[in-house]
């Protein structure tokens, strides 16, 4: 019986049936935003990741508006600011993880289009268990610390 | 037959950057300690003469900044997270100062001159506030001004391509007086309201 339920859930995840798929989703993305930037430039994507399920990991990031997207962390060591690539990010069971200015962020590199205030652009976060989840990031002014 | 071991000359070449890095690390550590103690104004001189290029490629020297307070930040345009956050907080802090803001000129000096040409800097700062003065220069000119402000910076490779790098850099706001004298370091990660209060205390 347990196996049957798992099989149905697994099948459901392959066929995104409205309603059904939403119930199975354990990761919710809130307050997604980025900042205006010229084409060819760089941008940062911020979001609040809410996990209503078991422990998960953010393992990949991508956006059609960037030639390359990477998960980064800004770290201040003795007054020196460093930005380092992060391979993956643990999302605790029932926990919330914030990608916010001055900490974790998705760096959008080689923007394929200008990001203009008021627009919204898609960014996809892929989780080990929850799979790919798309966020619509609203474009705020340069340096904005909130959407 | 010549000796197969490396010559003292080659060893010297290897040692020099290592010693240089150690000295830099010590300087950064000493600088951070003094800032924490809040006594940097009494310590070694910060700032001094420089000659750099503005967004139109025009020469700007430290003398051109006299007559107003200068709020100086070192960063780079390829920085997506911390630099724009800081520049936006500076811009909002000045908005909060109202008429007093006219006494302060915010200055953004790049520590990545290879990427940050005058045109790139001009476009970058225009997005924040028209008050913000962008400055760049040759590698030597930037190294000189960074040394005078005790700013540490170094590239960090992120891939194989020449452009695959980000910069590690000191992230501090330097408040300079109308005569070019260093007055106080201000936290670059402070919210605009706090930054405005700290600025306001320093202005006459």
- A-B CB pairs within 8 A amount to 80
ipTM of the complex: 0.81
Average per-residue pLDDT for chain B: 86
- Domain assignments of chain A as residue spans, ordered by start: 25-140
- Burial readout A75-107 (b: 16 or more C-beta within 10 A, e: otherwise): eeeebbbbbeeeeebebeeeeebebbbbebbbb
Q: Does A76 touch chain B (CB under 8 A)?
A: yes
Q: Does A78 touch chain B (CB under 8 A)?
A: yes
Angle of helix B82-97 relative to helix B192-202, nearest 10 degrees?
Answer: 60
Q: Does B56 touch chain A (CB under 8 A)?
A: no
pLDDT at B130: 87
Quick check: A20 pLDDT over 50?
Answer: no
Q: Does A84 touch chain B (CB under 8 A)?
A: yes
pLDDT at A122: 98
- Domain assignments of chain B as residue spans, ordered by start: 1-43, 45-202
pLDDT at A4: 56
Rounded to an integer, the average pLDDT of B160-164 is: 91
pLDDT digits (tens, 9 = 90+) for A47-70: 999 999 999 999 999 999 999 999
Nearest to B158 among A85, A102, A105 (CB): A85
pLDDT at B47: 96
Nearest to B84 among A70, A81, A143 (CB): A143
pLDDT at A18: 43
pTM equals 0.81
Q: Does A75 touch chain B (CB under 8 A)?
A: no
Where does B45-202 sit in CATH, by number? 3.40.30.10
Q: Name the more confident of A110 and A17.
A: A110
Q: What is the DSSP string of B14-47?
A: HHHHHHHHHHHHHHHHHHHHHHHHT-GGGSS---
Quick check: A28 pLDDT over 80?
Answer: yes
pLDDT at B73: 98
CATH topology of domain A25-140: Immunoglobulin-like (2.60.40)
């Amino acid at each position: 019986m347990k196996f049957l339920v798992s099989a149905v859930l697994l099948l459901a995840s392959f066929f995104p049936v409205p309603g059904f798929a939403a119930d199975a989703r354990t990761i919710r993305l809130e307050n997604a935003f980025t900042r205006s930037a010229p084409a060819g430039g760089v941008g940062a994507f911020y979001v609040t990741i809410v996990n209503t399920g078991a422990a998960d990991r953010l393992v990949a990031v991508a956006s059609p508006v960037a030639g390359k997207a990477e998960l980064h962390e800004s770290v201040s060591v003795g007054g020196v600011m460093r930005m380092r690539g992060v391979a993956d990010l643990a999302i605790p069971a029932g926990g919330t993880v914030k990608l916010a200015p001055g900490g974790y962020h998705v760096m959008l590199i080689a923007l394929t289009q200008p990001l203009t205030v008021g627009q919204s652009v898609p960014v996809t976060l892929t989780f080990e268990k929850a799979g790919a989840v798309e966020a619509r990031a609203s474009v705020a002014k340069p340096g904005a610390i909130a959407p | 037959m010549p000796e197969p071991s490396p010559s003292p000359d080659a060893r010297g070449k290897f040692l020099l950057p290592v010693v240089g890095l150690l000295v830099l690390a010590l300087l950064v550590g000493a600088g951070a300690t003094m800032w924490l103690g809040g006594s940097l104004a009494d310590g070694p001189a910060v700032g001094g003469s420089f000659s750099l290029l503005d967004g139109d490629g025009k020469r700007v020297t430290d003398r051109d900044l006299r007559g107003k307070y200068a709020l100086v930040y070192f960063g780079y345009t390829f920085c997506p997270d911390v630099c724009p956050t800081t520049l936006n907080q500076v811009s909002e802090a000045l908005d909060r100062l109202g008429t007093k803001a006219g006494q302060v000129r915010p200055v953004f000096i790049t520590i990545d001159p290879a990427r940050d040409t005058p045109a790139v800097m001009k476009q970058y700062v225009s997005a924040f506030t028209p008050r913000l003065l962008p400055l760049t220069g040759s590698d030597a000119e930037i190294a000189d001004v960074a040394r005078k402000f005790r700013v540490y910076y170094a590239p960090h490779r992120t891939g194989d391509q020449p452009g695959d790098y980000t910069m590690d850099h000191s992230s501090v706001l330097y408040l300079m007086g109308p005569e070019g004298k260093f007055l106080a370091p201000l936290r670059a990660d402070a919210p605009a309201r706090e930054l405005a209060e700290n600025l306001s205390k320093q202005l006459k």
